[in-house]
Structure 1
Amino acid sequence: MPGYFDNTPERRSTNSIKWKAYDKDVLPLWVADMDFLSPPAVIEALRQRVEHGIFGYTYEPQELRDLIVARLKNLYNWEIKPEDIVFLPGVINGFNLACRMIARQHPNSQVIVQPPIYPPFLVAAEHNDLHRLDIPLVDTGSGYYEIDFEAFEQAITPQAKLFILCNPHNPVGRVFTRAELTRLAEICERHDVLICSDEIHCDLIFSGQQHIPVASLSPEIASRTITLMAPSKTYNIAGLEGSFAVISDPETRHAYEKARAGLTGHINLLGVTAAIAAYQDGQSWLSELLAYLESNRDFLASYIQQNLPGISMFSPEGTYLAWINCREARIPGNPQRFFLENARVAMNNGDDFGIGGQGFVRLNFGTSQAILRDALERMRTALSQLD
């Protein structure tokens, strides 16, 4: 597909959140959607469905359940049953529903998160009248984050009933290893803490890395885990709102279904159409996407090292999001605001990601290299004008 990912259609006229949030002279490298066309197979399947012309209520198709079961077996040797799958509008809905379920079972309890973390994690407990327990990841000094397992276990209280894991981690870009996930799961088991694992970026993994669903480690861990996945980030179809939870324990699944009763209804008909097409026929597109994203990641890391003094980043192991440290760049005030005002480049404010986010920005490199290069050159010019 030569040039497919260099082609980034104009998006401001499409009510794109990403492209309409800022003035027209701003390059938006913030919210996590990509500027690429979705797979041709997805576009064609949607075209055929639209031409049918009727968009009424739809069943949750067995075909999609079977595709997910086969996909998880093929990619991870993880065997689930079709009935383990609960379809959802989105992953954020998914972990908020887990909090709602816990609030019904254990009022006033705690929800563990690992900041710096995707901002909706930070408010999920509060949304459901629970309390958030921050157990931060540890920056080893090079931008590579690790889990301090002793600190993690010591911080857990008897009130902690849910751990929302993010793997691959947004924003720090870690793809946690089997050993790390096993140790986390063992700690949660000892303290009777349920795991809700947001794995929405699981398909966006770079060379030398392997995604391991935490629930695939053992039947015992699976029985205390809610896994959240979606084709949305992978195939750039987030606006079609189609995600799913995998919950193998029948009692937990029943409680989860009760928690969502009356809140989430029928699944999106076009989202189902896109998901089926993506999972059936999207692999060659995905392989080329990953190569393009990896090239962007490497270009970004090299450019920062060579041209942006005082700024550093760890090359993410997964996702198309870079967590960029601006603390040594002599930037006055907030770096997100500095680059927006002086470079006309919009990134996410590190402060929004909780503990450890001050002085950072999150940059979305899921765009054409031409746009990425333009943004970086603007940032270089802005930095060069500092006293």
Structure 2
Amino acid sequence: MDPEPRATPDDDTNPLRRLSLDDLRLRTSMKWRTYPDDVLPLWVAEMDVPLAVPVAEAITDAVALGDTGYPAGTAYARALADFARARWDWDGLAVERTAIVPDVMLGIVEVLKLLTGPGDPVVVNCPVYPPFYQFVTHMDRRVVEAPLGAAGRIDFASLERAFRHAAADGGRAAYLLCSPHNPTGTVHDAEELSAVAALADRYGVRVVADEIHAPVVALDAGFVPYLSVPGAENGLSLMSASKAWNLAGLKAALAVAGPAAADELARIPEEVSHGPSHLGIIAHTAALRDGGDWLDAVRAGVDDNRRLLAGLLAERLPGVRYRPAAGTYLAWLDCRPLGLGDDPAAAFLERGRVALSPGTSFGTGGAGHVRLNLATSPELLTEAVRRMAVALT
């Protein structure tokens, strides 16, 4: 196997090109400590970037002041409302209809507790983010799958069947919408989201939108918040700066209610607000207020990497089917033509020493696929595809 190339720091404005592999291997987070050092990790959704300067300054200033107590106030919600207005032309994010929660998935759990009871159905579009299955089943709800269509978009016939099935049980049903969708990267448009709201209203299904990847869309794409479309007034959304600014270790998120769901969100237990980190809220607030230029540089870098990956696969792994998507920094690769079975990630790890997320963990439709994290340097992405090709020899 060829020696690993080194992504070298330079004066490029692309944050994805600022850290060397040696720098990255000093990290102690999950991405860099789960596998041995000879494995190139392109799996979990951590970005290979330095922290945005406004975020780093906000954290260090707080530490210098000893400002490390309990979270308080509405600064995070106000920053998100301003960001939504500037980025998505949405004025409907009302600070008084928000609640701070520890992170998006724990916020989803708390919201589902408000809307459903034990044994009630929660509809998901598979293949989908694995914690949707884990968290929903651990809180004693039932997952009902509504598979995506062949193009990776919502299949409304499938969704209606799932809603009809969920509503027939007589319980309180919810729909956990992933927007933008993980792992496919699909960015749902306003027409699709309006159709979701209408269908949910017809069957009495409550919509909970996971919009954690909302800021991370292609430069030529636009994101539409679910709560901004007609008919979504009784929906709820979970938002965070964590994915877009690589802040998973600085816990904080916001639950946002539509006008008709405000009273329900107000019933969230007070102790839930103790879960977010005060430093996390400071970091997320700084990111949303002052990290726009950094975010746009990352978005441009991810756009470049989508094009790079498409070219590399065409050259080295032409059997892999890849449709570059407009959202997230994740790539969903259909490896079924390679003949590596249901879990090609296992072969890429064992024979190529590159770690990818196995498609089987994303539910129905994931077998034979892998999810690859594009938020790395072009050099490391190139090396990853080379290793994947080696796994076939």
Q: Provide TM-score, normalisation by structure 2.
A: 0.90
Q: 1:108 to 1:259 in 2, by over 3 A?
A: farther
Any idea what the Cα deviations from partners look like across 1:279-319, whole Å, max 9, x if unmatched?
22111111111111110111011111121032111101110
Q: 1:165 aligns with which of 169, 177, 182?
A: 177
Any idea what the Cα deviations from partners look like across 1:77-136, whole Å, max 9, x if unmatched?
3223211111111111121222222334xx432110000000011133322222111010
Residue in 2 that maps onto 1:268: 277
Q: Secondary structure at the match of 1:292?
A: helix
Task: Give runs of aligned pairs for residues 163-242 of structure 1, distance below 5 A.
Answer: 163-218=175-230, 220-221=231-232, 223-242=233-252
Residue in 1 that maps onto 2:18: 7
Residue in 1 that maps onto 2:153: 146
* Structure-2 separation of matches of 1:55 and 1:214: 34
Any idea what the Cα deviations from partners look like across 1:7-39, whole Å, max 9, x if unmatched?
225244442100100011000000001010121
Any idea what the Cα deviations from partners look like across 1:322-366, whole Å, max 9, x if unmatched?
000110012256211000001100000000000000000000010
Q: Does 1:121 align with 2:128?
A: no
Residue in 1 that maps onto 2:310: 301
Residue in 2 that maps onto 1:349: 358
- Unpaired runs of at least 5, structure 1: none
- The letter of the residue matching 1:225 is G
Q: 1:319 aligns with which of 318, 328, 331?
A: 328
Task: Give runs of aligned pairs for residues 78-117 of structure 1, distance below 5 A.
Answer: 78=90, 79-104=92-117, 107-117=118-128
Q: Secondary structure at the match of 1:240?
A: coil
Q: 1:382 to 1:88 in 2, by over 3 A?
A: same
Q: Secondary structure at the match of 2:337?
A: coil
Residue in 1 that maps onto 2:5: none
Residue in 2 that maps onto 1:41: 54
Q: 1:90 to 1:373 in 2, by over 3 A?
A: same
* Structure-2 separation of matches of 1:127 and 1:270: 29
Asked if the contact 1:241/1:271 (under 8 Å) is kept, the reply is: yes
Asked if the contact 1:343/1:381 (under 8 Å) is kept, the reply is: yes
- The letter of the residue matching 2:77 is R
* Structure-2 separation of matches of 1:130 and 1:64: 31
Q: Secondary structure at the match of 1:51?
A: helix
* Structure-2 separation of matches of 1:154 and 1:102: 21
Q: Does 1:137 align with 2:144?
A: no
- The letter of the residue matching 1:89 is P
* Structure-2 separation of matches of 1:332 and 1:88: 40
Could you tell me how far 1:54 is from its partner in structure 2?
A: 4.4
Q: Secondary structure at the match of 1:328?
A: helix
- The letter of the residue matching 1:190 is R
Asked if the contact 2:100/2:273 (under 8 Å) is kept, the reply is: no
- The letter of the residue matching 1:30 is W
Q: 1:358 to 1:186 in 2, by over 3 A?
A: same
Q: 1:86 to 1:194 in 2, by over 3 A?
A: same
Q: 1:314 to 1:52 in 2, by over 3 A?
A: same
Asked if the contact 2:127/2:362 (under 8 Å) is kept, the reply is: yes
* Structure-2 separation of matches of 1:154 and 1:20: 42
Q: 1:138 to 1:332 in 2, by over 3 A?
A: closer
Q: Does 1:62 align with 2:89?
A: no
Q: 1:58 to 1:330 in 2, by over 3 A?
A: closer
Task: Give runs of aligned pairs for residues 348-387 of structure 1, distance below 5 A.
Answer: 348-383=357-392, 385=393
Aligned residues: 374
- The letter of the residue matching 2:321 is S
- The letter of the residue matching 2:122 is V
Q: 1:134 to 1:75 in 2, by over 3 A?
A: same
Q: 1:111 to 1:266 in 2, by over 3 A?
A: closer
* Structure-2 separation of matches of 1:46 and 1:162: 37
Q: 2:288 aligns with which of 266, 272, 279?
A: 279
- The letter of the residue matching 2:256 is V
Indicate the larger mover: 110-119 or 257-266: 257-266
Could you tell me how far 1:169 is from its partner in structure 2?
A: 0.3
Asked if the contact 1:58/1:266 (under 8 Å) is kept, the reply is: no
Q: 1:189 to 1:103 in 2, by over 3 A?
A: closer
Any idea what the Cα deviations from partners look like across 1:191-245, whole Å, max 9, x if unmatched?
1111000111111111432110111013x41x21111111111111111011111
Asked if the contact 1:173/1:317 (under 8 Å) is kept, the reply is: yes
Q: Secondary structure at the match of 2:12?
A: coil
Asked if the contact 1:309/1:329 (under 8 Å) is kept, the reply is: no
RMSD (Å), alpha carbons? 1.9
Could you tell me how far 1:372 is from its partner in structure 2?
A: 1.0
Asked if the contact 1:76/1:216 (under 8 Å) is kept, the reply is: no
Q: Secondary structure at the match of 1:238?
A: coil
Indicate the larger mover: 31-40 or 302-311: 302-311
Any idea what the Cα deviations from partners look like across 1:166-195, whole Å, max 9, x if unmatched?
010000110011111111110001111110
Could you tell me how far 1:266 is from its partner in structure 2?
A: 4.9
Indicate the larger mover: 226-235 or 122-131: 122-131
Q: Secondary structure at the match of 2:274?
A: coil
